[in-house]
A and B are shown apart, each in its own frame.
Chain A
Amino acid sequence: MELSSIKDAFDRVAKKQKLSSSKSQEVVDQVGCEIEQALATIQSSHDPSAPVDQKSVLTELKFKLNAIGPLQQLEGSNKELNISLTKYQKLLEKLLNPDISKAYRNVDFDTHIVNQIIANHFYHQGLFDLGDSIINEAGEPDAAALRSQFLEMHQIIGAMRERNLQPALTWVSANREKLVQIGSNLELKIHTLQFVEVLQNGTRADALKYARTYLAPFASLNKGEFPKLMGCLLYAGRLESSPYSELLSPIHWEMTTEELTRQFCTLLGQSYENPLSVAVAAGVEGLPTLLKLANVMAAKKQEWQEMKQLPVPVELGKEFQFHSIFVCPVSRDQGSEENPPMLLPCLHVLCKQSIMKLSKNSTRTFKCPYCPAEATVANCKQLYF
């Protein structure tokens, strides 16, 4: 990417614009000066001592202005400016993709769905004013279904940022059964944070009471952590100078806040990462390939608006890999329930259809395409990713 050449071209535009502006001022000054001079001459003609012919003064003024040629000067500097403007625009079109809508299929997105997605995008990020605003302007009252849940989530997060764990504790208590179902230990982590706060700001007796009340139920499940927490009791009020000072690190609050956010979204059936951001980011990565494809398709006069599958792979980064995808190295078909991946005795993997073909429908042994090992269909085992 040559941003520097674009910047250089724009600098030339700006320079020409300044020159043109100065030239205009200069021309106006020149013309004004000449007119004022003529004016002074005419006014002085009222003196009897120096009679002047008014007509000749005006005629001379006309000739002087023609000699200056103000319109031509303006036109000249403007032409130079236009040349650099045109060059800049051509450079933009050359270095950037001038029309990214070429890759757009003629499929109209449902505006209501898009607006709903945007509103949820804002709610997900805690931008409730913006979410409400687009719902009002677009007239989409139904899109606010998730607002109250996200509001609750952001209230809890806001409180945690101010070291107030009460809303979080209330929430995990209310959702304890669901959290246990998904194997979460969030409740213990939150109680641990609270315990450390009590230990730091209260008395040893208060801390002990808290541990007995809230930490004891988790003791049997977390044998490794518990002795450490109990050891902290010896250092009530001066934890920062104890062997356990690490427990005071802000990182624990950040990690617990993030984990609460994840669990909250999970129970909500939503993703932790904003789905609209993910989809658009994938689009930014995929669009260059699709634009090249659109050019090729246009050249070949093929109708690509109708195809069921993209003809070329669009390579996305690791962050966009959500599923295991198996592609048979022989047939290049994607694995599916009808055509699952199979492990050969030599530990290479092919799809079932390729194995059937190589073995002539199970009638004979076949050779692995990668190595000299031979196999029969019975030796191959189905894989599950």
Chain B
Amino acid sequence: MAYGGSGSASTIKQVKLERESELRIEVGNDAPLRLRLLNGTAEIFGTELPPEIWLNFPPRLKFAVFTWYGATIEMDGATETDYTADETPMVSYVNVHAVLDGRRSRAKASSPDDSVSSQGPRVIVVGPTDSGKSTLSRMLLSWAAKQGWKPTFVDLDIGQGSITIPGCIAATPIEMPIDPVEGIPLEMPLVYFYGHATPSNNVELYKVLVKELAGMIERQFTGNAESRASGMVINTMGWIEGVGYDLLLHAIRTFKANVVLVLGQEKLCSMLKDVLKSEPKVDVVKLQRSGGVVSRNAKVRQKARSYRIREYFYGLSNDLSPHSNIANFSDLFVYRVGGGPQAPRSALPIGAEPAADPTRVVPVNINRDLLHLVLAVSFAKEPDEIISSNVAGFIYVTDIDIQSSKFLMLLEVELQLYHVYLNSRSGQHMLHKTVTQGMEHLFTLGVDYLTNMTRPTLNPVSQSEIPFSPLLTMEMDSLPNGNNTSGTPISATATANPAQPPSSNLPQLTESLKLEHQFLRVPFEYYKKTLRANHRAVEKEMSAVISGVNEAAATDLSPDDAVNHLNSLVSRLQGLKRKLEEGSRAEHLQAQKCRVRLDHLESADAENMSEWNNTRMKRILVDYMLRMSYYDTAVKLAESSNLQDLVDIDVFQEAKKVIDALQNKDVAPALAWCADNKSRLKKSKSKLEFQLRLQEFIELVRAENNLRAITYARKYLAPWGATHMKELQRVIATLAFKRDTECATYKVLFEAKQWDYLVDQFKQEFCKLYGMTLEPLLNIYLQAGLSALKTPYCYEDDCTKEDPLSQEAFRTLAMPLPYSKQHHSKLVCYITKELMDTENPPQVLPNGYVYSTKALEEMAKKNNGTIICPRTGLVCSYTELVKAYIS
């Protein structure tokens, strides 16, 4: 029967097909396949292939290339399998098409007033699982579209999702042959949400939805003669026994099918013929199953459903961008269909059974049970309309914040989680959003679709001023969302603190104050240091006095000696008292400084924002200059603006002494500083003191003072041996090598730049100790600002001078920084430099140049209704302008 072909080819390969033969292909799991028609004619499921144009088929796709008169096919890429078959049922399939085509022509020739004879064929395709029902439907639709008809495709198979995501029944007009790669375009389907992959979960609901869909299509046919003459093609599920069989009959009757195509099942065909014998004008036709239909197990089906849902959100080749939105609980109503409380048997009449009403609509309390579910957005305006209403689109719930009563919804799906949802018994959920202007348009849109297939062109002038969302994606205020092709959102960002556009300056101000940790922390650390020093002094003196008393009591002193001793203790205490008073004043001063800074932060408000920003700029500059050791300029700037209490000059003066000494190769002040801060440095595991000691040792070796070096090492380096032995050994070894050694390992230790390294180390420890950032504040803010401002437009020649990145110096700094990401259009009028928004919308000149309404109105007023384009010189009338809707 089938012959030829081979699997796993990985180079370009040609296949010559004889007439009426078929090349059957299963694309590999990991890579796409490219295919084109070299010569002859060929089709894929009824859609003709364009000659010599490469088509890209995504992984896992299974399809067949059929030729009526012979063709040569070329493939590039790996296939799971591909082979040629010369025995196919295509002749009988195309004969069915010919019969249907004849019926359509007769229907079209009939008077539109005669609703019976003007009805085209109503075809339903039935058969067991994996019998090729979807493929046959597709062929019949494509062939009809190629003849110029516009048949309606009805998909009742909720497990597959040919039109939209699985879990739905849907209908859509087919006006062009179905694309072999992308399938049925999602332009204007009519979708009812069932919420499960099999009707057995809620048979009654399934029936109700089928009836609703059929009713809606009936209204469409009534109003559209062309659609009515074209008829419909209905695809069904593969469940053909028991309840499934009953549902098939229900569908046939509800849709008034007059052509029943039975694929590959003798028994089903026979049963249907018997049952439908009494129905007038219903033809039951048996068709052969194609040998190329691929059998799929439950696991494969499940995975296909996941991919289909992902495709809905991300596109077949990841070319769509799902939105993320935050919604308040109070803005949304969530309902479940089916379920609800059941009456106890004792409350029912004798013999009655308790049963949940399968079509009951029950409100759902929003809690974390909704997490990771797919919800449908209904067109219903009232809860009782939910079952009878179609849906606008779908959302996926990625997080629920009970505390702040917010939904985080991403229009994407975790593939595995969908299985859980589909297999759950919790029923289906619908999301009913409070009607907004956008929703009204969507609803109107739906009505247009349902009642008038001609889709009249809207008059742009009468169209709403506010563009509404695309049909299948709800769009609210956008949440930051990265380009995650991996499908994992940065939900942690959103969860921690959703970034909402500030409605006033207040939230922004709050956020900027949170950046001022260093501003409050540094004087506090200085304050603590003073407190600690004073406390240690008091303790030391008091201990000495107590010891003095104890000593006096323990020894025999002459009366005069005793008097002198006690007098000296009294003097010491009086001295301590004076020190305490001085220390107390110093503490008070520093507490005052801390408070001044708290007051300064508190003083920031809307009225003095400009002055406050200016002061902050100066603070940041002083910080930079102090870190760079430009002390004179820092002092001048602080004095000229009365910033002394708001900057940390005294703290850096302390550091300056140490740094100056280090630059003069003197470690004594640095060691003293380490001693002062011993406990805190130890807590943070600092090794600064060790490094200072090493350097001093090196200097002794350099001076060839080996005896002193050895003594020094025993006294000061040995205690560090437990934690830094390797480094210690390396340095001690310099005793064996002189300062002019050529051995690279040890030569480096004698280099002058070791002192620069020590300066850097000290600066870091110093900043850490005082709670300062390691980098200058200026660099941090500048980096953030330049990244936020950086766009490709900054580098154009006519970049406005007000943009900092129009200057070479700033461009150089921004070179290694990332570009900003833009989620929304922001338009600036070329004339006025003001933003164009809903109050000042963009208007387009006939030449395509866009300016703001205000600027153009003013120009027209000045020039008697004439507009002169400032960039091209074009002259036109104000009435020739059109408004652009840019979201």
Contact = CB atoms under 8 A, between A and B. Distances in A.
Interface of A: 1, 3, 6-7, 10, 13-14, 17, 20-21, 24-25, 27-29, 31-32, 35-36, 38-39, 42-43, 45-46, 54-55, 58-59, 61-62, 65, 70-71, 74-75, 78, 81, 85, 88-89, 92-93, 95-101, 103-105, 107, 109-111, 113-118, 120-121, 127, 129-130, 133-134, 137-138, 265-266, 269-273, 275-290, 292-293, 295-296, 299-300, 307-318, 320-327, 329-332, 334, 336, 341, 343, 345-349, 357, 360, 364, 367, 369-374, 381-385
A64 to B, nearest CB: 9
Contact of A367 (B188, B490, B545): B188
Given A71-B539, A311-B482, A109 B782 contact: yes
Given A280-B778, A307-B818, A310-B819, 5 more contacts: A7-B602, A74-B539, A98-B771, A99-B773, A321-B828
A58 B562 contact: yes
Instruction: Give the interface residue-count category, chain B.
Output: 35 or more
B819 A309 contact: yes
A42 B497 contact: no
A128 to B, nearest CB: 11
A71 B543 contact: yes
Which of B480, B591, B817, B835 has the most chain A CB atoms closer than 10 A to its own CB?
A: B480
A348 B499 contact: no
Nearest to B625: A134
Contacts of A286: 784-785, 787-788
A282 B785 contact: yes
Interface in B612-636: 613-614, 616-617, 620-621, 624-625, 628-633, 636
Interface stretch (B8-16, B398-406, B550-558): B550-558
Interface string B585-609: 0010001001100100110000000
Contacts of A25: 577, 580-581
Nearest to B767: A101
B431 to A, nearest CB: 21
10 contacts: A28-B542, A98-B517, A113-B812, A279-B782, A279-B810, A280-B778, A310-B788, A317-B508, A370-B469, A371-B467
A284 B512 contact: yes
B542 A70 contact: yes
A273 B833 CA distance: 14
B794 interface: yes
Interface stretch (B21-29, B693-701, B843-851): B843-851
Contacts of A117: 809-810, 813
B570 interface: yes
A5 to B, nearest CB: 11
Dominant SS at the B interface? helix
B780 A326 contact: no
A269 B350 CA distance: 94
B455 A1 contact: no
Contacts of B496: 292, 295
Given A269-B801, A385-B830, A326 B886 contact: yes
Contact of A284 (B515, B624, B625): B515
A334 B458 CA distance: 28
Contacts of A374: 455, 457
B176 interface: yes
Contacts of B822: 313, 325, 327, 334
A45 B559 contact: yes
Interface stretch (B61-69, B340-348, B877-885): B877-885
A133 B460 contact: no
B813 A113 contact: yes
Contacts of B556: 55
Contact of A78 (B188, B535, B574): B535
Contact of B801 (A43, A271, A290, A385): A271
Contacts of B807: 270-271, 275
Given A45-B559, A277-B617, A96 B514 contact: yes
Interface in B862-887: 871, 882-887
Nearest to B535: A78
A298 B445 CA distance: 46
A113 B788 CA distance: 20
B844 A343 contact: yes
A104 B480 CA distance: 20
B799 interface: yes
B800 interface: yes
A373 B457 contact: yes
Contacts, number: 456
B887 A329 contact: yes
Contacts of B562: 42, 54, 58
Given A38-B566, A321-B835, A347-B883, A92 B520 contact: yes
Contacts of A120: 809
Contact of B885 (A111, A318, A348): A348
B455 A312 contact: no
A332 B818 contact: no
Contact of A321 (B577, B580, B624, B826): B826
Contacts of B460: 345-347
A281 B321 CA distance: 31
A93 B517 contact: yes
Contacts of B788: 282-283, 285-286, 310, 314, 316, 320
Which of A1, A45, A75, A295 has the most chain B CB atoms closer than 10 A to its own CB?
A: A1
Which of A116, A130, A280 has the most chain B CB atoms closer than 10 A to its own CB?
A: A280
A3 B787 contact: no
A378 to B, nearest CB: 14
A129 B818 CA distance: 36
A330 B628 CA distance: 49
Contacts of A329: 470, 475, 887
Contacts of B779: 104, 109, 114
Contacts of B524: 88-89, 92
A137 B813 contact: no
B404 to A, nearest CB: 16
Contact of B630 (A46, A137, A265, A317): A137
B789 A279 contact: yes
Nearest to A384: B849
A314 B785 CA distance: 10
Contacts of B448: 372
Contacts of A290: 784, 787
B458 A371 contact: yes
Interface in B814-831: 816-828, 830
Contact of B784 (A20, A78, A103, A385): A103
A233 B70 CA distance: 99
A111 B776 CA distance: 11
A284 B493 contact: no
Interface string B767-807: 00001011101111111111111011110000111111011
Nearest to B779: A109
A307 B816 CA distance: 10
B463 interface: yes
Contacts of A310: 787-788, 818-821
A130 B512 contact: no
B780 A100 contact: yes
Nearest to A360: B179
Nearest to B510: A1
Which of A17, A127, A369, A372 has the most chain B CB atoms closer than 10 A to its own CB?
A: A372
A39 B785 contact: no
A14 B813 contact: no
A74 to B, nearest CB: 6
B803 A322 contact: yes
A326 to B, nearest CB: 5
Contacts of B587: 17, 21
Given A74-B535, A270-B801, A39 B570 contact: yes
Which of B528, B559, B787 has the most chain A CB atoms closer than 10 A to its own CB?
A: B787
A296 B490 contact: yes
B782 to A, nearest CB: 6
A95 B783 contact: no
Contacts of B637: 130
Given A105-B817, A134-B630, A10 B176 contact: no
